[in-house]
Structure 1
């Protein structure tokens, strides 16, 4: 799953988590944050630096805005995570 948020950053979360009960997890991703320079170049930012950590089977990511606050909602069958976007 890919969420192109802006020219300044992107969030990504793979989709292949569990395909069948007898099949183990197919990926080792916990999501990642790419910081852009506004010119189309992006650098990976660590989980410790960005705080973006989605270890569960993410099914949906959506950028939302309420008032002046922007955030990204990451949801799956059992968990919902909300990450605020700081300019």
Structure 2
């Protein structure tokens, strides 16, 4: 379970902080636009939970919280790195999906 939790954080960070963030920076966007853009995309990515039958209000709440979490992680990860990834992975593994 711990490994699966860490992999969730690792995959999300690879997608959002690795690929998307670097792509936006390479296009010459300001750091503020990169922070807002990656946080919004991270939050909107959670809309996929509607497909699994989660109630829309719960999913919208999750999108809002994930967007805010993305913004916080944008600031914290460069400072704390792997410690944050492991913590987020463990939290994701033990947080129930909205139902």
TM-score bin, normalised by smaller chain: 0.3 to 0.5
TM-score (norm 1): 0.34
More contact order relative to length (CA 8 Å, sep ≥ 6)? 2
Give the structure with the larger helix fraction.
2
TM-score (norm 2): 0.32
Give the structure with the larger strand fraction.
1
